[in-house]
Amino acid sequence: MTPRDFQWATGEVWRDHFLKSLARCRRLRQALAMPFSEGAFESTVPAALFSLRGRRALITGAGQGIGLMLARGLGMAGAEVVLNDKEPARLGEAVARLRREGLAVEGCVFDVTDEKTIAIGLASLARGEFEVGGGIDILINNAGIHQRAPLELMSTAAWQAVLDVNLTSAFLVTRGVVAGMLQRGSGKIINICSLNSEISRPTIANYAAAKGGLKMLTRAMAVEWGGRNVQTNGIAPGYLRTEMTDVLTVDPVWERLICARTPAGRWGEPRELIGAAVFLASRGADFVNGQIITVDGGLLAAL
Ligand code: NAP
């Protein structure tokens, strides 16, 4: 090494050292400035991070079961919640029940498979400056049905109905709501998937195909709108006790099978999805996109 090379090399070392120190100073200055700059620090305190105050959520199929429980959970986290169902009497009861609990909720009747009734329902929700997409900040595509049959005997109607309610509905309702989210530059979409987005069993081919499709639709939405600050994620519940699973819970063989297969050793309850839903709907999940959170007591991880 010539003296000139040495000088150059040490100069580089000093330059590097100087730049690193400068960056450290900048980070320190930013950290010290945080509490005083536009509430940046306050918004990272967990209570504020997971609060849904000031947000409006729409949950489909919320007249009972998981949807109703998620409405309660989001409402308790501060959101104003619009419950949807196609059955007006049941929806009315659900809304009245949550109002008695002190939550800010309203009902909106439409069939998630019917474009016309979706458009009418969303238009009825428009308010103030939020006229597009009903002013919805959080959408949970939850409505779902089962129509079980051995695949070789499954009717086209049963195949189509299950795809319509579990998969196409998420496309139709989201398309109606997302325009407003994109216009406002923020939104959260949560699709209720299933263990059957990953694994199947006999007699549910239509449901597994729909829920597998919903998982990929979740990723497609995430990719499509992630750059415009709209995050789309999914929740995949394991076996939970609801009206949908009544047919399984009353069968002692199934009841025992699910307990034996699930590392937690029991069925889940709808309230056990609230944590994942509030998280995904909150600012705490602003950098979470295209993910499916499985809430199944460990079933999917077990052989
Ligand atoms: P649920 O008790 O049967 O509730 C589903 C709700 O959706 C019902 O109120 C139902 O009304 C409504 N709905 C059905 N078709 C509709 C339509 N076309 N338009 C509007 N609303 C409609 O079911 P759940 O157990 O709460 O399930 C909720 C979601 O979680 C579903 O997507 C399901 O696939 C998923 N999931 C559930 C489990 C579980 O163990 N329970 C596990 C994995 C995934 P009607 O009764 O009038 O049809």
Q: Does ligand 1 come within 6 angstroms of the Cβ of 68?
A: no
**Is residue 24, in this structure, part of any structural domain at all?**
no
**Is residue 9, in this structure, part of any structural domain at all?**
no
Nearest ligand 1 atom to alpha carbon 195:
43
- At 33 the pLDDT is 46
- At 38 the pLDDT is 44
**Is residue 249, in this structure, part of any structural domain at all?**
yes
CATH number at residue 216: 3.40.50.720
pLDDT digits (tens, 9 = 90+) for 54-105: 999 999 999 999 999 999 999 999 999 999 999 999 999 999 999 999 999 9
Check whether 158 has a pLDDT greater than 60.
yes
**Residue whose token pair is 């199929």:** 61
**Is residue 149, in this structure, part of any structural domain at all?**
yes
CB 191, CB 232: distance < 8 Å: yes
Mean pLDDT over 114-133 rounds to 83
Check whether 194 has a pLDDT greater than 60.
yes
Catalytic residue (one of 108, 165, 169, 207): 207
**Is residue 23, in this structure, part of any structural domain at all?**
no
Identify which of 59, 145, 261, 267 to mutate to test ligand 1's pocket (most ligand atoms within 8 A of the CB): 145
**Is residue 267, in this structure, part of any structural domain at all?**
yes
- At 37 the pLDDT is 40
Mean pLDDT over 284-292 rounds to 98
Instruction: Name the residue range of residue 250's domain.
Output: 53-302
The candidate with the shortest Cα–Cα distance to 205, out of 244, 245, 153, is 153
Question: Can you give the C-alpha Rg of the chain in angstroms?
Answer: 24
**Is residue 47, in this structure, part of any structural domain at all?**
no
Check whether 16 has a pLDDT greater than 80.
no
Q: Does ligand 1 come within 6 angstroms of the Cβ of 113?
A: yes
Q: Does the predicted model carry a pTM greater than 0.85?
A: yes
Number of domains the chain contains? 1
Bridge partners of 105, per DSSP, are 81
DSSP state of 265: S
- At 46 the pLDDT is 83
**Is residue 46, in this structure, part of any structural domain at all?**
no
pLDDT digits (tens, 9 = 90+) for 204-231: 999 999 999 999 999 999 999 999 999 9
Q: How much distance in Å is there from the Cα of 235 to the middle of ligand 1?
A: 14
Our answer to whether residue 207 is catalytic in this structure is yes
Mean pLDDT over 256-276 rounds to 97
